[in-house]
Amino acid sequence: MREKILYLLGLAAFVILARDIYLIARLPPEAAQGYAFKIIFFHVPSWVGAGASVATALVASVLFLITKNFIFDAAAVASTEVGVAFLSAGMVTGSLWARPIWGIWWTWDERLTTTLVLWLLYVGYLMLRHAIEEPTQRATFAAVVSIFAFIGVPIDYFSIRWWRTQHPSPVFFSSTGSFPSDWGAIMGWNILAYLLLAAVFVAVRLEQEQAQRELDSLRRLAHSF
C-alpha cells in the first residue's frame, strides 16, 4: 500500500513536470533575458525542494536529540541527502542561467557564496556520518551539525534582501519583483511537483535507512555467532 502511494505521488510529479515543460515551451521569451529566463521554472522549485528537505532534517535532528529515537536520525539523513541533490540542481541551473545573462558561470556575490557555504555544510554533514562508526555518537553529532547548518538557510534566503547582490532581487514575496499570473501558475505547479518528488525521495531513502539498520543488526548477530 505504502509503495503504491509512493509510486502514485512520483507519477503525479512526473505528469505535472511533463505538462509544465509543454506549457513553458509555449511561453514567449522574456523581454530582457530571452529564453534563458525560463530556467527559473526549474531553478526556483529546486530551491523550494531543497529548503523543505533541510527544514525536515532540522526538525528530525531536534526530535532525535530530544527523544533519542533513531527513526528521527534516519529521517534527518534521508532528507539531508535529498536536500543536497536539490541544492545541487539549484546551483547548476543557476550557473547555466548566469552564463548567457551575466557572461560568467560564477561570481562571489552574497547569494551565491552563502549558497555554496550551505551546500558545503550539508555535504560535510553527510561526510561526518561516514567518519563516525558508533551509531549513537554518530546520530548525536550529526544532529548538532544539522541544526547549526540550518542557520545558513535564512542567511541564504535573505541575502538578496539584506545586501546589494549581482543575483537578481526577489521576484516572489516582494514589492520590487513582478511575475505574470499565468507564469506564476506554471511556477506554482512546478514547485508542487518538486515538493512531491522530494517527499517521495525522502520516503524511499527513509526505508533504505531502516534496511541499513536491519543489515547492521544482522552483521552484529553474525559476529556474535
Site residues (CB under 8 A) for another protein?
A: 21, 29, 33-36, 38-39, 42-43, 46, 82, 85, 88-89, 92-93, 96-97, 99-100, 197, 201, 204-205, 208, 211-212, 214-215, 218-219, 221-222, 225
Q: How far is the CB of 151 from another protein (least distance, A)?
A: 25
d(CA 119, CA 183): 29
* Burial class (CB within 10 angstroms; exposed 0-12, middle 13-18, buried 19+) of 80: buried
Q: Report the residue number, 38 or 129, with the smaller CB distance to another protein.
A: 38
Q: Which is nearer to another protein, 50 or 143 (CB)?
A: 50
| DSSP assigned state of 28 | P
Residue among 85, 69, 121, 87 nearest 204 (CA)? 85
30 or 109, CB closer to another protein? 30
Cβ at position 35, least distance to another protein in Å: 4
Sequence letter at residue 33: Q
Please count the other Cβ atoms lying within 10 Å of the Cβ belonging to residue 139: 23
Q: Least distance from C-beta 8 to another protein, angstroms?
A: 16
Cβ at position 32, least distance to another protein in Å: 11
Taking the least distance from each CB to another protein, the nearer of 26 and 164 is: 26
Q: How far apart are CA 223 and CA 44, in angstroms?
A: 49
Grid cell for residue 122: 550539508
